[in-house]
Amino acid sequence: MKIKLSILTLLLCCSSLVFAQVKFTASVNKTTIGTGEVLEVTFSINANGERFAPPAFGGFQVVGGPNVSNSISMINGVTSASIAYGYDLVPTKEGEITIGPATIVAGGRPYSTAPIKIKVVKGQGGQASQQAQQQGSNGPDSRNIQKGRVSDISKSLFLRAEVDKTTAYMGQQIMMNLRLYTRVNIANGEPEKIPDLNGFYSQEIKNNNPNAQWRTEILNGVRYNVTDIKQTVLFPEHEGNITIEPSIMNFIVRQQAASSSGDPFDAFFGGYEDVKYKIKSAPVVIHVKPLPLAGKPAEFTGAVGKFNIEASLDKNDVKANDAINFQVKVSGAGNLKLLKPISPTFPADFEKYEPKITDTITINASGASGNRKYTYLLIPRHQGDFTIDPVKFAYFNPATGRYVSLSTPAFHVKVAKGTGDGSNVTAFSNAGKQDVKVLSNDIRYIKTGSELNEVGSDFYGSGLYYFLLIFGPAGFLGALVYGKWRDKNNADVVGLKSRKAGKVAAKHLASAKLQLNDKKAFYENLFRGLYGYLSDKLNIPYSDLNREKIASELKARSLDESLINEMLDTLDLCEMARYAPVSGITEQQVFDKAQNMINNIENKI
Structural domain boundaries enclosing 531: 495-604
Instruction: Please check whether residues 136 and 284 belong to one and the same domain.
Output: yes
Q: Which residues pair with 99 in a beta bridge?
A: 116
Question: Residue 484: pLDDT band by 50, 70, 90 thresholds?
Answer: confident
How crowded is residue 36: how many other Cβ atoms within 10 Å of its Cβ? 19
Residue 344 has phi, psi (to 5 degrees) of -65, 160
Domain endpoint, select from 121, 156, 185: 121
Instruction: Please check whether residues 259 and 310 belong to one and the same domain.
Output: no
Tell me how many domains the chain contains. Answer: 4
Q: Does residue 185 have a pLDDT over 70? A: yes
Residue 130 has phi, psi (to 5 degrees) of -65, -45
Structural domain contains residue 306: yes
Taking residues 218-245, what's their average pLDDT? 89
Parallel/antiparallel/unpaired status of strands 78-91 and 116-121: unpaired
Structural domain contains residue 270: yes
Q: Residue 574: its pLDDT value, please?
A: 79
Instruction: Please check whether residues 190 and 311 belong to one and the same domain.
Output: no
Instruction: Please check whether residues 249 and 377 belong to one and the same domain.
Output: no
Helix (H) or strand (E) holding 101: none
pLDDT tens by residue, 411-442: 999 999 877 544 444 444 343 444 444 444 44
Q: Does residue 245 have a pLDDT over 80? A: yes
8 A C-beta contact, residue 61 and residue 89: yes
Structural domain contains residue 4: no
Distance CA 392, CA 359 (A): 20
pLDDT tens by residue, 112-144: 999 999 999 986 443 444 343 333 333 333 333
Least confident range from 96-105, 331-340, 596-605: namely 596-605
Q: Residue 5: its pLDDT value, please?
A: 44
Instruction: Please check whether residues 172 and 321 belong to one and the same domain.
Output: no
Angle between helices 587-604 and 561-577 (to 10 degrees): 140
Domain endpoint, select from 96, 121, 146: 121
Name every residue whose Cβ is closer than 8 Å to that of residue 603 and which is 6 or more positions away in sequence. none
Instruction: Please check whether residues 253 and 157 belong to one and the same domain.
Output: yes
Question: Residue 579: pLDDT band by 50, 70, 90 thresholds?
Answer: low
pLDDT above 70 covers a percentage of the chain that reads 74
Which of the pair, 136 or 540, is modelled with greater confidence? Answer: 540
Q: Does residue 60 have a pLDDT over 70? A: yes
For the ranges 106-110, 138-142, 467-471, the maximum mean pLDDT occurs at 106-110
Q: Does residue 499 have a pLDDT over 70? A: no
Question: How much is the mean pLDDT over the chain?
Answer: 77
Residue 433 has phi, psi (to 5 degrees) of -80, 155
The domain that contains 338 carries what CATH number? 2.60.40.740
Instruction: Please check whether residues 337 and 376 belong to one and the same domain.
Output: yes
pLDDT tens by residue, 284-306: 999 999 999 998 999 998 999 99
Q: Residue 436: its pLDDT value, please?
A: 45
Domain endpoint, select from 289, 312, 337: 289
Instruction: Note the Cα 357 to chain centre separation in Å.
Output: 32
Question: Residue 581: pLDDT band by 50, 70, 90 thresholds?
Answer: low
Q: Residue 589: its pLDDT value, please?
A: 83
The domain that contains 578 carries what CATH number? 1.20.120
How does DSSP assign 482-512, residue by residue? HHHHHHHHHH-HHHHHHHTHHHHHHHHHHHH
Structural domain contains residue 489: no
Structural domain contains residue 225: yes
Distance CA 170, CA 303 (A): 10
Residues in the chain: 605
8 A C-beta contact, residue 87 and residue 38: no
Structural domain contains residue 454: no
Among 41, 71, 106, residue whose Cα is nearest residue 268? 71
Which of the pair, 384 or 488, is modelled with greater confidence? Answer: 384
pLDDT tens by residue, 554-575: 888 878 888 888 888 888 777 7
Between the CA atoms of 220, 224, 230 and 232, what dihedral angle is there, to the nearest 10 degrees?
Answer: 30
How does DSSP assign 266-286, residue by residue? HHHTT-EEEEEEEEEPPPEEE
Among 5, 34, 44, residue whose Cα is nearest residue 122? 34
Instruction: Please check whether residues 156 and 103 belong to one and the same domain.
Output: no
Least confident range from 15-24, 198-207, 314-323: namely 15-24
The domain that contains 66 carries what CATH number? 2.60.40.10
Q: Does residue 467 have a pLDDT over 50? A: yes
Amino acid making up residue 444? R
Instruction: Please check whether residues 140 and 178 belong to one and the same domain.
Output: yes
Q: Does residue 578 have a pLDDT over 90? A: no
Instruction: Please check whether residues 142 and 85 belong to one and the same domain.
Output: no
Q: Does residue 177 have a pLDDT over 80? A: yes
Angle between helices 547-556 and 561-577 (to 10 degrees): 160
Residue 521 has phi, psi (to 5 degrees) of -65, -35
What is the pTM (predicted TM-score) of this model?
A: 0.47
Q: Does residue 152 have a pLDDT over 60? A: no
Question: Residue 71: pLDDT band by 50, 70, 90 thresholds?
Answer: low
Least confident range from 67-76, 100-109, 213-222: namely 67-76
Q: Residue 327: its pLDDT value, please?
A: 94
Question: Residue 20: pLDDT band by 50, 70, 90 thresholds?
Answer: low
Instruction: Please check whether residues 316 and 405 belong to one and the same domain.
Output: yes
b (16+ CB within 10 A) / e for 190-211: eeeeebeeebbeebebeeeeee
Distance CA 227, CA 230 (A): 9
Q: Residue 531: its pLDDT value, please?
A: 79
Structural domain contains residue 479: no
Structural domain contains residue 242: yes
Which of the pair, 22 or 130, is modelled with greater confidence? Answer: 22
Question: Residue 270: pLDDT band by 50, 70, 90 thresholds?
Answer: low
Which of the pair, 522 or 179, is modelled with greater confidence? Answer: 179
Among 272, 245, 244, 274, residue whose Cα is nearest residue 258? 272
Instruction: Please check whether residues 212 and 63 belong to one and the same domain.
Output: no
